[in-house]
Structure 1
């Protein structure tokens, strides 16, 4: 991307921002625009695929102790059930802009359906841990196609006066699944084998396919886009390398703490870190020089968009990792059952998910600043209370403190991507959508790896699962984790506050 293109994008972003903000302060003549039934059906169909993918991901987190026993693997190994899924999603997200330009929406939808079914069937019949990982990769690619496809449909086909609310609905689809996932996992496995979850998922996927085939429409013509395999390889290596470095770094620290030999893990960590950072730099360089880049990264030269992207990367570390931490602390420290551990996440996550469209309505009504900064600031109370009471937590306190975080986080975070994309010219919105969804999934993968590493380090040398020393070590690991969550939340909130301040100054200058 050359300098003149970047200049046009920056100017276009400023104009788009001014129009977007001023439009909310006028009479909003399009406020009576109607949402078509086909659009609703399209969002439901594509969103259902994303929903089922995320649901099965969060279902598996509550089953980690059971999977550790069935497949005889450690905590740091079993978390790859989640991490490799999120990595597959994150590696697919950057391609979504190309796929959107090159292929018809309905064809992409059906491809996502096929991948979801194949992955579920493998999960049903697999009896070796590597096969489970293969199935999660296939399912992750399907979700990596479906999630940005849903957002692109909303951005392209929804009335402008309703975009905040519909983006809130999109966030609702994504956030309800983590809300009910652990509870579904605990409930199903209390009466059926855990594989029954995927047996149930298959007919739901087929139902979504029927709705999608009837409702999905192509509003924007396709382009003759080109996919550079070198760029794709570079971004995949970057994402995988960075998360592997984090994971293996935790393994190395855990071995050092327990007195084991950490040489090999340390070497792997350094190699993965070098490969990840080197691939990321290579991808950025190739994208800047390419005529048809995989992702048009010029939008990140706008500091407002960049700061939103940073916040959208770090906050999911907490949001997605929270369910993992709570369910494992509940089972391994407090001694609760799988069902109870999953149910602890339900109140906060479900009420937060249901209120995500409320955040979108607040955005349409009041703009971005207050509907983002106020709830995101209050959400920090959740992990803060967890840390204060970390060594005397009960199941009730876990559920209550998570309620505080889940409710306010969902209201604020539902608007972060919407706020950022209001700065991006229309032609580049698919790229912005792909970038932000990649940030979301990478943050989730890194969060699961980070928090499982912290727990593993705390548990190292503490004896076997079920002993008092192991339970105490898990509680200590939980305290370390909650402290890390607070720091991450403060970094994310600071980035958003800086972005809002820059935008207010920009808007004030545009009025002169």
Structure 2
């Protein structure tokens, strides 16, 4: 029985294809590795105050703990297509495990800021290898009638890990030293290694592929430049609204943006003329794939940015503790973890159109309610309205990439996987930068933290943030609706 064809209609009777046990083990091994890699991305943000005191660094410096990690992930993911073609899956997996373990060990024993930065670079490369590897295994080895639900399982890693990071970080750091987080991760890495070596199978042969050094350098400079531009633009705006000198940050942001854009233009130009490009970008000529990619890139601005917004609003506007602020994200994240595979089941049964559009039509209700009640929020309503978004987001998000990649030939799936996962990283980085900048602008001139004026200003910034979230969700919904309309016309 063929899988859903993308028409949004019923796929017909679902065959009784069974999911091989070794495939389940492989997804668990690579998925747990990717999960804990992504988890540390947001865990560290809760630890910034403690790290600032221990390492004697300021806010602008300590944020590099997260920024350098995002840079490392972003510049590694584009080469996942090359790695998949060139090396056996087990070799790629073992390399990712080694990088994760080395990074954890350095974080445990490192006692200076530069050493921790090196550790985060190593961890970022490991996570940048593991996440696309998990998706490639699912897309290549899943039974056709089960691909939606298994992609839903993969979505747990991508969406839930960053969402629960603040809760995990706050809970562990309240009772243990912050380094205990990485001590606890190490046994999971060992278990993942054993299971992966036993279960990961090579279903397709490797092939000759060359790593063009100029293309690799261009993609590194391009992605690093854009993320640096986002980061420094946020810093410059924050400095400007607080009356501090901002010329240096603005200059760095402008230069980084220019380098990033020019490098990516060169990469695209070079790829079109290369016999063995790093990423085969031809799939983006299809407007259906391109519109899916647009939605997949901008939705994490809201999905991942929500973790930052809720924890900061709860503490700075509602006066909750750091632990309670992190816990407010947990119900939506956990229910999302449970329902992400359900979204995949709906995809397998009904095709992509109705499950995806229905999920995001409901998801928009969350930020709409938050905007309406923005000046009268309580911790309970903040968590409850996020719950609506988190549930619906989990039901639909992973299906976007599944739907897009179903429209391209199988040999180009690793390239599509690399592009989509790279854009996911940009969305997450942009969300935190955008929303932190909005809150900073709203808080400017409102007095010191803890005063009623500051709390009110933060609530106003929250309202602006929720309005921005609504616009982003609407843009993604429209892009997906147009993609499905084009697909329907083709038939």
TM-score by length of 1: 0.91
1:284 and 2:268 equivalent?
yes
Partner of 1:253: 237
Give the aligned partner of residue 3 of structure 1.
none
For the pair 1:164 / 2:155, whether they are aligned, the reply is no
Partner of 1:429: 413
Within 2, Cα distance between the matches of 1:479 and 1:22? 35
Displacement of 1:448: 1.9
1:272 corresponds, among 230, 244, 256, to: 256
Shift of 1:449: 2.1
- Cα shift readout 1:2-38 (whole Å, capped 9, x = no counterpart): xxxxxxxxxxxxxx9996659964555xx11111111
Name the residue aligned to 2:470.
Answer: 486
1:205 aligns with 2:207: no
In structure 2, how many angstroms separate the alpha carbons of the residues matched to 1:347 and 1:41?
27
> Who is 1:5 aligned against?
none
Deviations 1:192-245 (A, max 9, x none): 112111110111111111111111111111111101111111112111211222
Matches within 5 A, 1:51-66: 51-66=35-50
Output the CA distance in 2 between the equivalents of 1:240 and 1:462: 34
Alignment match, 2:353:
369
Matched residue SS, 2:131: helix
Q: Deviations over 1:90-115 (max 9, x none)?
A: 21111000000111111111111111
What are the equivalent positions in structure 2 for 1:282-321 lying under 5 Å apart?
282-321=266-305
Q: 1:214 aligns with which of 180, 187, 198?
A: 198
Counterpart of 1:180? 164
Aligned to 1:223, which of 198, 202, 207?
207
Q: Secondary structure at the match of 1:33?
A: coil
Q: Which residue of 1 aligns with 2:338?
A: 354
Q: Check 1:367–1:212 CA distance in 2 against 1; reply closer, same or farther (3 A cut).
A: same
Count residues with an aligned counterpart.
Answer: 490
Matches within 5 A, 1:81-96: 81-96=65-80
Q: C-alpha displacement at 1:492, in angstroms?
A: 1.1
Structure 2 distance, partners of 1:110, 1:204, is 14
User: Which residue pairs with 1:155 in the alignment?
Assistant: 139
Provide the residue aligned with 2:403 in structure 1: 419
Structure 1 residue 358 displacement after superposition = 0.6
Residue 10 of structure 1: aligned partner: none
Counterpart Cα distance in 2 of 1:263 and 1:240: 21
Stretches of structure 2 that go unaligned for 5 or more consecutive residues are none
Shift of 1:49: 0.5
1:110 matches 2:94: yes
CA distance in 2, matches of 1:84, 1:231: 21
Per-residue CA deviations over 1:432-478 (Å, capped at 9, x if unaligned) read 11111111112112222222222333344444444444433333332
Candidates 477, 488, 497, aligned match of 2:461: 477
Match of 1:138 in 2: 122
- Once residues 412 and 3 of structure 2 are traced to their aligned partners in structure 1, the CA distance between those partners, rounded to angstroms, is 14
Alignment equivalent of 1:126, drawn from 110, 117, 122: 110
**Residue in 2 that maps onto 1:37:** 21
The answer on whether the counterparts of 1:250 and 1:457 sit within 8 Å (CA) in structure 2 is no
Distance verdict in 2 for CA 1:287–1:24, change over 3 Å = farther
CA distance in 2, matches of 1:258, 1:204: 44
Q: Is the 8 A contact 2:39 2:164 kept in 1?
A: yes
- SS across alignment from 2:328: helix
Structure 1 residues 152 and 78: CA distance shift in structure 2, 3 A? same
Counterparts of 1:463 and 1:116, CA distance in 2: 43
Partner-residue secondary structure (3-state), 2:65 = helix
Q: Deviations over 1:349-371 (max 9, x none)?
A: 11012100110000011111110
Q: Which shows bigger deviation, 168-177 or 414-423? A: 168-177
Q: Does 1:99 align with 2:73?
A: no
Between the aligned partners of 1:74 and 1:17, the Cα distance in structure 2 is 53
Q: Is the 8 A contact 1:255 1:460 kept in 2?
A: no
Structure 2 contact 8–352 (Cα < 8 Å) conserved: no
Residue-by-residue CA offset, 1:166-202 (whole Å, 9 max, x unaligned):
1111112333323432222222112111211111011
* C-alpha spacing 1:384/1:24, structure 2 compared with 1 (3 Å): closer
* Structure 1: 5+ residue stretches without partners: 1-15, 508-512
Counterpart residue number, 2:389? 405
Q: CA deviation at 1:88?
A: 1.6
The TM-score normalised by the length of structure 2 is 0.94
Deviations 1:314-354 (A, max 9, x none): 01111111111211222233222221111100001110121
Would the aligned equivalents of 1:83 and 1:448 in 2 still touch at CA under 8 Å?
Answer: no
More off after superposition, 430-439 vs 334-343: 334-343
Is the CA contact 1:179–1:350 (under 8 Å) kept in the aligned structure 2?
Answer: no
Q: Which residue of 2 aligns with 1:449?
A: 433
CA RMSD of aligned residues (A): 2.1
The answer to whether 1:388 aligns with 2:372 is yes
Deviations 1:413-440 (A, max 9, x none): 1200000001010111111111111111
